[in-house]
Amino acid sequence: MRLLRIFRDRPEAEAAQPKPPTPAPSLALSDAAYLRRYFKTLLILALLGAVLLVPYTCWWLYESGDMAVERAVAAQSQGGFALFGSGVSQDFVDYKLQLYTAVRPDIATVGSSRVMQFRAAYFRRPFLNMGGVAGNLATLRSTLDAMLRLHKPQAVILGLDFWWFMPQWEAHPFKETPPTSGSYNYGFESLKKPWSWLLDGKISLTELAAPLLAPLGQGFRAGRYGIMAQQTDDGFAPDGSWHYTAEVTGQKRPFDYQFSDTLSQVRHGIKAFYRARPNQQAPSPEHLDAFAEIHCRLRARGIQTFVFIAPLSLRVLTAMREHEEGYAHLFALREALLARGIDVLDFTDPRSLASGDCEFIDGFHGGEVTYARLLRAMADRWPALLSYVNMERLNAAIRDWQGHATAPDERVTGLPETDFMRFGCPKRQP
């Protein structure tokens, strides 16, 4: 080190050696300052974006009707026609209970989405469709209890799903379960929805800007609450029934096109189409007892109770017959309920109603005309229903719209029903 120091002290050595780069501390400090300014600017922009975008997103959700359950219920219960089809949440028990409180019906139908095609037009008395509130026996019980705390109807129509009677679907049918998760208490996930819809192409920039364009007449439509109702007239009507407008009018391809998804469930024995295991009691005695207890609760309150097993499309039923031993919880369900003193009508086979696949929304959801047929058959079997049912309108709908999934209603849409499943179903113009 000493020799090196002496060597560097010589002028010739100094001249021979390349000069080391001059340190630039001021430049390094400038870079650091630049980075600080850069990230500070990003933070300010992010905060500014949050300050602007969060209120705008809330405004958008409010104006679209996706955050307007109370307004939708008020509009629907005060005599006007409005549709509620929220894209934010499909857990709509809160909405149905609020509507039930406002309507206070004489007769209600209760069950899963498979009862949502009963329409008020076919009843003489105040009616509400509470379909979609029960995915199993435990939630059926808790929702009925919630309904009765609010108002006691004179009559209830219960639609049963055969998979409710299997432990693979619900292990503990007597378990105390709340009727709703309170999903309309919106949070951060709800605020992300409009932007994720825009990125996914589900809404356009024009739709995202609809609140700003309202003064120009390009805002959201009146009488439509929720983005599904706004876009395609899909949603709940004031009677609580659901309109599958986008699919039946050909605005979008059906999810269960030609019943392919349902048939796949049957083929693989999955989801709602679980098969009973060998030596398994089906339907489950515990689940039968749970439903008998629910039925007894209603009858003990003096409520007329009418029970039916919901229909399947013929294609799906035929596929299930190929595995009949695995579906005893369906094919033996009526007899098992009768043995417990429950009078029930079995509409599993749509041919018992003179219905068919052209009248189905998908593989296991019959359409409005199928349910008009079903209601007429129930009134024929149980005269006590006749005081509630409008037989003239039922007969007219069945006569005029046989082979259709829905009867036209100009309040919903002016578009005609198409052969949306491509089954070769003839569809007439309204």
CA atoms of 76 and 79, how far apart (whole Å): 6
The residues of the chain scoring below 50 in pLDDT are 1-16, 24, 26-27, 29
Phi and psi angles of residue 304, each rounded to the nearest 5 degrees, phi first: -65, 130
359 within domain boundaries: yes
3-state secondary structure of 397: helix
- Pairing relationship of beta strands 127-131 and 107-111 according to DSSP bridges: parallel
CA atoms of 285 and 166, how far apart (whole Å): 9
373 within domain boundaries: yes
427 within domain boundaries: no
Query: What pLDDT was estimated at residue 51?
Result: 59
Query: What pLDDT was estimated at residue 44?
Result: 62
Query: What pLDDT was estimated at residue 186?
Result: 60
227 within domain boundaries: yes
41 within domain boundaries: no
Residue 45 CA to chain centroid, in angstroms? 37
CA atoms of 73 and 194, how far apart (whole Å): 23
Domain count, the chain: 1
Mapping DSSP onto H, E and C, the string for 249-313 reads CCCCCCCCHHHHHHHHHHHHCCHHHCCCCCCCCCCCHHHHHHHHHHHHHHHHCCCEEEEEECCCC
CA atoms of 412 and 235, how far apart (whole Å): 9
CA atoms of 415 and 41, how far apart (whole Å): 51
321 within domain boundaries: yes
Query: What pLDDT was estimated at residue 6?
Result: 34
Q: Is the pTM of this model over 0.95?
A: no
98 within domain boundaries: yes
Query: What pLDDT was estimated at residue 2?
Result: 40
Query: What pLDDT was estimated at residue 222?
Result: 94
Query: What pLDDT was estimated at residue 428?
Result: 86
Question: Which token pair is 340?
Answer: 């417990």
Query: What pLDDT was estimated at residue 305?
Result: 98
Query: What pLDDT was estimated at residue 1?
Result: 41
17 within domain boundaries: no
CA atoms of 50 and 53, how far apart (whole Å): 5
Range of the domain at 320: 54-401
CA atoms of 161 and 311, how far apart (whole Å): 9
